[in-house]
Amino acid sequence: DAKTTQPNSMESNEEEPVHLPCNHSTISGTDYIHWYRQLPSQGPEYVIHGLTSNVNNRMASLAIAEDRKSSTLILHRATLRDAAVYYCILPPSPGAQKLVFGQGTRLTINP
Amino acid sequence: DAMVIQNPRYQVTQFGKPVTLSCSQTLNHNVMYWYQQKSSQAPKLLFHYYDKDFNNEADTPDNFQSRRPNTSFCFLDIRSPGLGDAAMYLCATSRDRAGYEKLFFGSGTQLSVL
């Protein structure tokens, strides 16, 4: 099964960039890397996903290593509202058409 | 506008008393998922529907059932809730199977079992 490894927690300061790492050394060649976040007392929220190339959207950027065994979610300028649990997710097996959550990284933003 | 709607937001039931949680979507997505999230844990996939095709996870207890009468609605039935079933239940949808498509989540139903 494709598994992800993330730090349990990270801390950053408001208005600074945040780099959230994820290791996925068993990823298969066709699996997309997904990132979701969950604010307190809310359902998870889609952040970004990508296959090989780096991806950007209004919320964040996703930098994918050339060998695809790791990726980094980049929040360019953190705000207090970015405090959440961030999940890096892959399908649990090659080509599996579902997403299974790992433990995620709890991000704290200091004012 | 809410696209995945879960009702109720909070549900209290008694030990052993059947309970049904509901989810509706305005996205016309093919796939609907149910996740269970216990306190301080990650969401755990229970099952999903691809259109009318039901897909159960191997470790989902038989106590949990689901119905999808049409594209817009999906229900989670807990036949005999135990204290261990107290959790947040999250409904999600995707246009197609989730390996490539993103998921849209509802706000969840917090279930308490007394």
Question: What was the pLDDT predicted at B43?
Answer: 94
Q: How far apart are CA B110 and CA B8, in angstroms?
A: 8
> Which chain A residues are within 8 Å of B104, Cβ to Cβ?
46
Confidence of residue A2 (pLDDT cuts 50, 70, 90): low
A46 touches chain B (CB under 8 A): yes
Span B4-31, average pLDDT: 96
Q: Determine the Cα–Cα distance for residues A111 and A109; give it in Å rounded to an integer.
A: 7
Cross-chain Cβ contact B103/A95 below 8 Å: no
The alpha-carbon gap from B89 to the nearest alpha carbon of chain A, in Å, equals 9
Tell me the chain B residues in contact with residue A101 when contact means C-beta distances shorter than 8 Å.
35, 42-45
CA distance A97 to chain B (A): 5
A43 touches chain B (CB under 8 A): yes
For residue A31, the chain B residue with the least C-alpha distance is B99
The model's confidence at residue B2, banded by pLDDT at 50, 70 and 90, is low
Mean pLDDT value across residues A55-64 = 95
The answer to whether the Cβ–Cβ distance between B45 and A95 falls below 8 Å is no
Looking at the predicted structure, is the pLDDT value of residue A25 above 80? yes
Average pLDDT over residues B39-44: 92
Q: What is the mean pLDDT of residues A51-80?
A: 94
Mean pLDDT computed over every residue of chain A: 91
How far, in Å, are A5, A84, B28, B53 from residue B111 at the CA level? 30, 22, 27, 26
Predicted local confidence at residue A43, as pLDDT: 93
Which residue type does A3 have?
Answer: K
The answer to whether the bond into B8 is cis (omega within 30° of 0) is yes
B33: chain A residues, CB-CB within 8 Å: 98
- Residue B53, min C-alpha distance to chain A (Å): 13
Task: Count how many pairs of residues, chain A against chain B, have C-beta atoms within 8 Å.
Answer: 53
The whole-number average pLDDT for the span B28-54 is 94
CA distance A40 to B88: 12
Does the structure show a pLDDT above 90 at A96?
A: no
Coil vs helix vs strand at B84:
helix
The band of A61, judged by pLDDT with boundaries at 50, 70 and 90, is very high
Give the pLDDT confidence score for residue B1 in this predicted structure.
Answer: 65
Distance from CA of B78 to the nearest CA of A (A): 20
